[in-house]
Amino acid sequence: MGDVKIRYYITRQWKDHTKRGYWAPCLARPNKKTGVFEPTLMAKLGFEHVDCGEDGPRAWAIAESWNRKWDQMRAEFRAGKVDASAKKFERVFPTNSLGEGFAHFKKTGVWKTKKPRTREDWERGWKYIEPFFGDVDPHTISMDDLSLWYFGDPSDEKIKGLLQTKGVREAYRGMKIWRALWQVLGTIKREDGKRYVVGKDPSLSIRRKTPKPRDVYWLEGEAVRLVKGAWRMGYKGLAAALAVAWDTMLSPVDVRSLTTSQLTPDPKGPLFEIERTKTGRDAIGTLSRRTERLLAAYIASLPFTLHPETPIFHTRGAAPGPRGGRPRAPAPYTKNTLGDDFRTVRSAVFPGEKRQVQDFRRSGAIEATAGRVDPAALAGKMANTIDSNRELQRTYTPHNATLVRLADEARARGRTLMRATEAPRKGRK
């Protein structure tokens, strides 16, 4: 394939002998007087290096699209419409383009009221859409264009789609956000009075591949071993978080966000009353007596007084080593630090294991199902619409602690059955 001359476009040869293209703008250059490297205008306006994929027509088109964005942004800057010192801006897309429509949507109250995790999901899907269609008028996008984006070109193995480059799961996410965005843009008007999209979504002619759902789960005895292992290894915050996650069946992000102000007294034991991070639905997290004692012991072990609005579960921190170094105080768990600590403990307790913290939630549902739980009780426990009839259950089964405890009782029955029929597994993946 011959070389092309595109501004800021470079290629690199990979170990597998494939050549990839990159849009590589100049982000720093030396000051003529001091020689110190300083950020360029491109860097100040937020531009970064872009992986355009395997070298070829599609990569060239992506690079050209970024050159157009840079030209337009530079013109906006020179006209005084963009403040580079603010380092906050929305990328400027061509008039009536898909990117302009998405930027319009993000300025609305509807976008701002979406949960952070939902907005994150949209942005993650948009990352796959924007390089190909961000600059394009959606009125001109056809099923053929979307098929090429999703499947690639069957007649040319060099032109790969999302399925080949990102895998089934991420391709599914990209298509999901495309369809959601099409619906939204059908309700938003452009400056010329027309809507950003009209007619039927062309992607509906494409049968997307569904990623295989996770089906792994933990047994109660295995969860106990993880909790004990974490405590003995000094990860007391992780141990308490795992115990709470097992009992409450809350997602890891909800567990990380729990505070003592959300802990409510109850005749059958304290419980957490929260609003779920992802869906905004009210949830009640019940605790066993064993977890209640562990949680109290963990809070008492903290080297500081826990503020009622501060997340409960913290990292273990670190003292200076034999050679010195900076001490690290315990800090509230984040997604990454919780995952890192869990993998450390999991490797010590179950070498070679691949199951994750989020599988605790599924494990509880399997226990409750084995215990013949009422669907409404399980929906109340999980604070979602796992029951078969959403609207009727929302109307006739109020969300309360009594209903949640029915699911706890079913889990106990199911746990007893599973102990008798399934031995603890070692190294299950």
212-246 pLDDT, tens digit each: 877 788 999 999 999 999 999 999 999 999 999 99
Average pLDDT (362-387) is: 73
Domain count, the chain: 3
Q: What CATH number is given to the structural domain containing 286? A: 1.10.443.10
pLDDT in tens, 13-39: 876 677 888 899 988 888 887 878 888
Q: 399 and 291, same structural domain?
A: yes
At which of 90, 110, 135 does a domain end? 90
388 and 258 in a common domain: yes
In a domain, 41, yes or no: yes
Domain co-membership, 353 together with 258: yes
26 lies in the same domain as 106: no
Q: Contact at 8 Å (CB) between 206 and 178?
A: no
Per-residue confidence band for 92, with pLDDT thresholds at 50, 70 and 90 = low
pLDDT above 90: residue 423 = no
Position 406 pLDDT exceeds 50: yes
Segment 142-161 mean pLDDT: 89
| pLDDT greater than 50 at residue 427 | no
Q: What is the mean pLDDT of the chain?
A: 84
For range 345-369, the mean pLDDT: 89
200 and 229 fall within a common domain: no
Cα(392)–Cα(155) distance, integer angstroms: 50
Are 102 and 190 in contact by the 8 Å Cβ rule? The answer is: no
Is residue 240 in a domain? Answer: yes
Question: What's the Cα-to-Cα distance from 8 to each of 43, 55, 87, 132, 387, rounded to whole Å?
Answer: 14, 14, 22, 18, 54
In terms of domains, do 83 and 132 share one?
no
Q: Are residues 262 and 403 in the same domain?
A: yes
Which pLDDT score, from 0 to 100, does residue 393 have?
38
Q: Quick one: 84 and 130 in the same domain? A: no
Q: In the chain, pLDDT over 70 holds for what percent of residues?
A: 86
Q: Of 32, 58, 90, which residue sits at a domain end? A: 90
Considering the chain, what percentage of its residues have pLDDT values greater than 90?
40
Greater confidence, 99 or 325?
99
Lowest mean pLDDT among 66-70, 151-155, 184-188, 395-399: 395-399
Q: Final residue of a domain: which of 90, 115, 137? A: 90
| pLDDT (0 to 100) of residue 418 | 81
Assess whether pLDDT exceeds 60 at residue 387.
no
What pLDDT is recorded for position 388?
Answer: 45
Report the sign of the C-alpha dihedral through residues 98, 103, 106, 107, in that order.
negative
Asked whether residue 365 is domain-assigned, the answer is: yes
Residues 338 and 238 in one domain: yes
Statement: residue 87 has pLDDT above 60: no
For residue 396, pLDDT over 50 is answered with no
Q: Is residue 16 part of a domain?
A: yes
Q: 68 pLDDT exceeds 60? A: yes
Predicted confidence band at 409 (pLDDT cuts at 50, 70, 90)?
A: confident
- The yes-or-no verdict on residue 420 having pLDDT over 60 is yes
Q: 429 lies in a domain?
A: no
Instruction: Specify the CATH number for the domain of residue 114.
Output: 1.10.150
428 falls within a domain: no
Domain membership of residue 292 (yes or no) is yes
Whole-number pLDDT of residue 85: 60
| β-strands 50-54, 152-153 pairing | unpaired
Would you state the pLDDT for residue 323?
67
* Same domain membership, residue 109 and residue 28: no
Q: Does a structural domain hold residue 427?
A: no
The answer on pLDDT for 337 being more than 60 is yes
Are residues 358 and 248 part of one domain? yes
- Over residues 255-261, the mean pLDDT reads 93
Tally of CB atoms within 10 A around 75? 12
> pLDDT band at residue 62, thresholds of 50, 70 and 90?
confident
pLDDT at 297: 96
**pLDDT for residue 401:** 64
- My answer on whether 224 and 371 are in the same domain is yes
pLDDT at site 385? 59
What is the pLDDT, as a whole number, of residue 424? Answer: 54
> Is pLDDT at 274 greater than 80 in this prediction?
yes
More confident residue, 331 or 279: 331
Containing domain of residue 189, as a range? 93-212
Is residue 389 predicted with pLDDT exceeding 60? no
